[in-house]
Amino acid sequence: MGNQLKDSINLGEYSPKLDDNGIYILPASGEYEIRVLQPRSQARKDKKPQYWMSINIK
């Protein structure tokens, strides 16, 4: 998955990078790319899992 990307972070449901509220805060400056990935086995079965994402810029 993201391990081929430089400085990638996996923010799956049980990621240790998330705080107790399921939030991850990016550094104040930088260039970012967000990717939402689905396991290949689910995609082959044409499954469409639900997900949500909230982005706040302050």
The angle formed by the CA atoms of residues 53, 56 and 58, to the nearest 5 degrees, is 170
**DSSP sequence for 32-55:** --------HHHHHTT---------
Is there a domain that residue 14 lies in? yes
pTM of the model: 0.52
How many residues does this entry show for the chain?
Answer: 58
Report pLDDT for 48.
81
Is there a domain that residue 48 lies in? yes
Confidence band for 22, pLDDT divided at 50, 70 and 90: confident
Report pLDDT for 1.
46
Report pLDDT for 4.
64
CA neighbor of 5 nearest in space, from 23, 25, 31, 24? 31
Is there a domain that residue 46 lies in? yes
Is there a domain that residue 57 lies in? no
Domain count, the chain: 1
Residue carrying the six token digits 């689910």: 42
